[in-house]
Amino acid sequence: MYRIVSRRMLTPVICMQEVEAPRLAASAQPGQFLIVRAEEKGERIPLTICDYDRDNGTVTIVTQIVGASSRIIASKMPGDFFMDVVGPLGQPSEFVNVPVGELAGRRYVFIAGGLGTAPVYPQARYLHQAGASVDIILGARNAELVIMEDQMRAVCDNLFICTDDGSKGEKGLVTGILKNLLDLGEHYDQAVAIGPMIMMKFVTLTAREYGLPLFVSLNTLMVDGTGMCGACRVTVGGKTRFACVEGPEFDAYQVDFDEAMRRQTMYKPQEAEADHKCKIGLH
C-alpha cells in the first residue's frame, strides 16, 4: 500500500498527488514512468514521474481525468492509499547518461503540450541544475489548462506560453513559437517535445526544416507498461519498437506518427463505457 501525502487539483480535470514510495524515489530518473493500481481490482495505469524527492521518499504524479481509472486515481485524498505503485520503468532521458560536466553550456528547448508539461519538469530541472541552458515552450487550449507555470519558471532560462484561444500568453500553437525562435537565430543542441501525438507530429515537421535534433516521448501509447500487451508497439526507423520498455523517448524523425495515432484510438469504446459506469458509481 502506498500512502498519498498530498493532493492538489491543478485544473478542474488535472490532479497532482505526492505519493510515499521511498525505493522508487531513490532510483527514479528523468524520463521514466511508474504504474499505479488504485484498488485491488483496478486497472494498471502508466503515469510519468513528474517529480521525486529522494530525502522524503516521495514521488509526484499528475493525472488528467479522462476515464474511469484516472477518475478513481484522482479521487484519492491525503491519507488514502494506492494498492500498488511500481517503478521506475522505461529508459531515462538520453542526457542522464552524459557526464554532468559535459551538460554545462548546452542549450535545450522543451516543447510541452497540455499534460506534457508534467514530464518536462523533471528533465528541465535536471538540466538546469547541471548548468545547461533551458528554454520551455508551454502550450494549452486555454488559460485554465496551463499547469505548473511557477515550477517551470524556476528551472528554465526562458518560458514561452501560448494558448489556442489567446487567454494566456501568445495566441497560437507551440510550433509558431518554436519557428519564431529559430528564425531569430536561436540555436539549440537538442529539442524535446512531449504532449499530444498530433502536436509532436507537427513539432517534428517544424524542427525538420531547421535540422534541429528532436526527441519525442510516446508515453501516451502505453497500457500495461511492461511490453506484454503490445499496445505500445510503434514503428521507429522502420522497426517495431515497444514504447514502454525501449522508450518512452525516441528520435522524432524515425517515428511513424500516423501509425501511432491510429493505435491510440484502439480502446476508445471500452474507455467510454467504463467511464460512464464509474461516474454512476462515484455519485
pLDDT attached to residue 138: 96
Closest alpha carbon to 119 in 175, 63, 168? 63
Domains of the chain (ranges plus CATH)? 2-89 (2.40.30.10), 94-217 (3.40.50.80)
C-alpha cell at 63: 493525472
Please tell me which residue, 226 or 148, carries the higher pLDDT value: 148
C-alpha cell at 216: 519525442
pLDDT attached to residue 40: 86
Residue 269 has pLDDT above 60, yes or no: no
Residues 16-50 pLDDT 10s = 999 999 999 999 999 999 999 998 888 888 898 99
pLDDT attached to residue 67: 85
Residue 53 has pLDDT above 90, yes or no: yes
Q: What whole-number percentage of the chain has pLDDT above 90?
A: 67
Residues 56-79 pLDDT 10s = 999 999 999 888 889 999 999 999
pLDDT attached to residue 216: 94
**Residues facing 171 on adjacent strands:** 163
pLDDT attached to residue 160: 97
Mean model confidence pLDDT for the chain: 88
Residue 259 has pLDDT above 70, yes or no: yes
Residues 198-257 pLDDT 10s = 999 999 999 999 999 999 998 776 666 666 666 667 888 888 888 777 778 999 999 888
Lowest-confidence segment of 2-11, 147-156, 238-247 by average pLDDT: 238-247
Q: How confident is the model at residue 129 (pLDDT cuts 50, 70, 90)?
A: very high
Residue 169 has pLDDT above 50, yes or no: yes
Residue 281 has pLDDT above 70, yes or no: no
pLDDT attached to residue 262: 81
pTM, two decimal places: 0.86
pLDDT attached to residue 272: 45
Residue 268 has pLDDT above 70, yes or no: no
